[in-house]
């Protein structure tokens, strides 16, 4: 089935509308709708999805410039290409049309071949742009899933490490009680109760680890949470690798409430902290440290994370948020972690993320990542 393209013609002169329809109706792919006022045009864009709008300027009481301005200010209609059709051929009018967001400007009286060629060109460009945007969205979705799968692999390893000690304690304590019973050794009530409490405490720890892991991969709506809780949950999820790599975490966290996607913020923090871990290990720093500072500034939450791994070379620091850019290829770095962190901060939190080197006496000592998450936009 052939694709149909919806075209809206807006002109208060019926003769001009009929002329344009007669020219464009030769192409059966065009479904043409028309109105004779700007007010009607704004109603039509709510009823149909248009691929192109042909818009006259000299209309009353709402002229074409005002209609264009309204359409471009609405997220549902801002991407519809607009071609101005007008008898006004002065430089000021043409410049204003493009400044307001029009893709083209045709002066009346227009030629049949010119109108058909420009309409065809801009519809093709619009469709190509839509197709490209869909492909980019799919690519971003795949990259996000890839990033989450990588995080899942790391967390499974973390869980295995985190379970070793509690399982060992549960096994040791329960075996001790079993042996005592088999040997008819009477344990006093307090000792037995302490042993059972120890088993329960460690079993709850195992359960909490699974809950944190499961929550991370469940898609949820925005909720009210404390930033400190999110930081602590993040550290709990990757605690075993921090411990294995002898990395000390220093926290200075102001108690700030926030409404947003908590799992998405956890993913951002994991990416940044894991990046710092890698940098510390590659640099073979003796006393490894990662610092986390959280505070409220004006109407934003500021999260700062920095390490003492020596910083990022100035010739690459501006590229580290780019997709697939990595300095760790020989360590199996994918280059998508920081890229996805930036996309999540910008698109899901309407915030900013940037990085800068920390210097002491002119020497780079580490890299600091700064997140600025506006509270009011949530």
pLDDT score at 87: 82
Cβ-in-10-Å burial (0-12, 13-18, 19+) of 38 comes to buried
Q: Which of 14-28, 100-114, 171-185, 319-333 has the lowest mean pLDDT?
A: 319-333
Per-residue model confidence as pLDDT tens digits over 313-347: 888 888 888 866 665 544 344 446 787 788 889 88
Q: Using alpha carbons only, what angle is made at residue 262 by residues 260 and 265, rounded to the nearest 5 degrees?
A: 95
Q: φ, ψ for residue 369 (rounded to 5)?
A: -95, 135
Per-residue model confidence as pLDDT tens digits over 251-289: 999 989 898 888 788 888 988 998 898 899 888 888 999
User: In 3D, which of 244, 364, 362 has the Cα closest to residue 307?
Assistant: 364
- Counting residues of the chain whose pLDDT is more than 70, the rounded percentage is 85
pLDDT at 148 over 80: no
* Cα 97–chain centre separation: 33
Per-residue model confidence as pLDDT tens digits over 36-73: 999 999 999 999 889 999 999 988 889 999 999 999 99
Per-residue model confidence as pLDDT tens digits over 212-245: 666 655 656 788 889 999 998 888 777 777 888 8
Model confidence at 158, pLDDT cuts 50, 70, 90, reads low
Q: φ, ψ for residue 39 (rounded to 5)?
A: -65, -45
Q: What is the dihedral of CA 261, 267, 273, 275, to 10 degrees?
A: -140
Q: Which of 112-121, 134-143, 333-342 has the lowest mean pLDDT?
A: 333-342
pLDDT score at 280: 92
Per-residue model confidence as pLDDT tens digits over 189-205: 887 788 888 788 777 76
pLDDT score at 347: 84
CB-based contacts of 43, cutoff 8 Å, min separation 6: 35
User: In 3D, which of 232, 277, 238, 246 has the Cα closest to residue 155?
Assistant: 238
Q: How many CB atoms lie within 10 A of CB 90?
A: 10
Cβ-in-10-Å burial (0-12, 13-18, 19+) of 164 comes to exposed
SS3 sequence of the chain? CCCCEEEEEECCCHHHHHHHHHHHCCCCCEEEEEECCHHHHHHHHHHCCCCEEEEECCCCCCCHHHHHHHHHHCCCCCCCCEEEEECCCCHHHHHHHHHCCCCEEEECCCCHHHHHHHHHHHHHHHHHHHHHHHHHHHHHHHHHHHHHHHHHHHHHHHHHHHHHHHHHHHHHHHHHHHHHHHCCCCCCHHHHHHHHHHHHHHHHHHHHHHHHHHHHCCCCCCEEEEHHHHHHHHHHHCHHHHHHCCEEEEEEECCCEEEECHHHHHHHHHHHHHHHHHHHHHHCCCCEEEEEEEEEECCEEEEEEEECCCCCCCCCHHHCCCCCCCCCHHHCCCCCHHHHHHHHHHHHCCCEEEEEEEEECCEEEEEEEEEEEECCCC
pLDDT score at 330: 41
Strand-strand pairing, 30-35 and 52-56: unpaired
pLDDT at 9 over 90: yes
pLDDT score at 334: 43
């Amino acid at each position: 089935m052939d694709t149909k393209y919806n075209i809206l013609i807006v002109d208060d002169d019926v003769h001009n509308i009929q002329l344009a329809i007669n020219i464009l109706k030769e192409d059966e792919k065009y479904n043409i709708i028309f109105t004779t006022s700007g007010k009607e045009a704004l109603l039509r864009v709510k009823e149909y999805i248009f691929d192109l709008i042909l818009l006259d300027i000299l209309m009353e009481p709402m002229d074409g410039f005002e209609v264009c301005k309204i359409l471009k200010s609405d997220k549902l209609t801002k991407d519809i290409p607009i071609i101005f059709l007008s008898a006004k051929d002065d430089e000021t009018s043409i410049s204003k049309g493009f400044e307001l967001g029009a893709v083209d400007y045709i002066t009346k009286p227009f030629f049949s071949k010119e109108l058909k060629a420009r309409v065809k060109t801009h519809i093709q460009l619009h469709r190509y742009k839509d197709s490209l945007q869909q492909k980019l969205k799919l690519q971003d979705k795949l990259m996000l899933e890839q990033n989450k799968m990588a995080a899942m692999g790391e967390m499974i390893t973390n869980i295995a490490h985190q379970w070793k000690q509690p399982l060992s304690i549960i096994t040791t304590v329960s075996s001790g009680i079993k042996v005592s019973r088999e040997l008819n050794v009477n344990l006093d009530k307090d000792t037995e109760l302490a042993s059972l409490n120890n088993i329960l405490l460690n079993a709850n720890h195992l359960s909490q680890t699974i809950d944190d892991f499961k929550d991370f991969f469940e898609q949820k709506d925005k909720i009210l949470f404390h930033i400190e809780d999110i930081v602590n949950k993040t550290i709990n999820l990757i605690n075993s690798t921090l411990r294995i790599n002898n990395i000390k975490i220093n926290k200075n966290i102001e108690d700030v409430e926030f409404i947003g996607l908590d799992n998405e913020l956890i993913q951002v923090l994991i990416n940044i902290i894991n990046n710092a871990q890698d940098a510390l290990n590659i640099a073979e720093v003796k006393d490894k440290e990662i610092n986390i500072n959280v505070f409220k500034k004006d109407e934003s939450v500021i999260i700062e994370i920095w390490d003492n791994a020596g910083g990022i070379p100035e010739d690459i620091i501006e590229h580290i948020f780019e997709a697939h850019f990595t300095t760790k290829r020989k360590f199996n770095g994918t280059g998508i972690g920081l890229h996805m962190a930036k996309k999540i901060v910008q698109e899901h939190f309407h915030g900013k993320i940037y990085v800068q080197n920390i210097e002491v006496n002119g020497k780079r000592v580490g890299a600091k990542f700064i997140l600025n998450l506006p509270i009011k936009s949530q």
